[in-house]
Amino acid sequence: MVRLILFGPPGAGKGTQAEALSKQLQVPHISTGDIFRSAIAAQSELGLKVQSYLDEGKLVPDSVVIDMVQERLAQSDISAGWILDGFPRTVPQAQALDDLLAQIKQDYSLVLNLQVAESFLVQRLLGRQRKDDTEDVIQERLRVYRDDTSPVLEFYNLGTRLVNIDGAADVETVNARIQEAIAGR
Ligand code: AMP
């Protein structure tokens, strides 16, 4: 049973790796960013609530994200395992995830921290076609990562399940590094 938290700055390759791992390990890929983008496309109540945060590269309020993840983790497919991508992104979210997992009597296997230098991230993000991949919004998302998200690493560093992965390589190489970390856990 594999339950992974993919962590790292915007552009580190979390989404790409999570998608590949989801196929390889046959477990659902839970991307909070993807859920928000679908809600925005569907113009649902959630979508309308979160749109401006995504457009501006700001974090959606913790309570909204935590409720959404709680609902997602209540679905039956997660009994096979899961890959979280883009959550938790703040220390209160990490604490809430611990509480949620305790409630459903689950635990995560590993936190995979994809490490990529900032100059490389900007290049990668500018090469994508997402609406929030403009220069200004990218700078804001990197700032949010530094200020609000990177402290989550200290939260997980207290345990022994945080693994750093060098993410500055092609998709297959990074995937092989992750598979090695999972096999060696
Ligand atoms: P991502 O696809 O993971 O890069 O997320 C895109 C955007 O969705 C972020 O810039 C935030 O506005 C929002 N978002 C995704 N996940 C979270 C989260 N865990 N907490 C707060 N906001 C989030």
Place of tokens 């230098």: 117
What atom in ligand 1 is closest to the CA of residue 69? Answer: 19
> Residue holding tokens 């580190």?
12
**Which pLDDT score, from 0 to 100, does residue 160 have?**
84
Using alpha carbons only, how large is the chain's radius of gyration in Å? 16
How far, in Å, CA of 81 to CA of 164, rounded? Answer: 21
Separation CA 150–CA 145 (nearest Å): 6
Residue 166 belongs to what H/E stretch? Answer: strand 162-166
Check pocket membership of 177 for ligand 1, CB cut-off 6 A: no
Q: Which token pair is 157?
A: 């560093």
> What was the pLDDT predicted at 69?
98
Mean pLDDT of successive 10-residue segments in the chain (185 residues)? 97 97 98 98 98 98 98 96 98 98 96 95 92 94 98 90 96 98 91
- CB-hemisphere CA count at 13 Å for 84? 26
Question: Does the beta carbon of 32 sit less than 6 angstroms from any atom of ligand 1?
Answer: yes
pLDDT at 147: 98
How close is the Cα of 60 to the center of ligand 1, in Å? 7
> CA-to-CA distance for 82 and 77, rounded, in angstroms?
9
Cα(16) to ligand 1 centroid in Å equals 15
Nearest-angstrom CA–CA distance, 79 and 113: 24
Ligand 1 and 138: CB distance under 6 A? no
H or E, element range at 11: none
Q: Are 87 and 169 in contact (CB under 8 A)?
A: no
User: How many whole angstroms from 33 Cα to the centroid of ligand 1?
Assistant: 5
Cis before residue 10, ω within 30 degrees of 0?
no
- Ligand 1 near 10 CB (within 6 A): yes
Give the pLDDT score at 185.
80
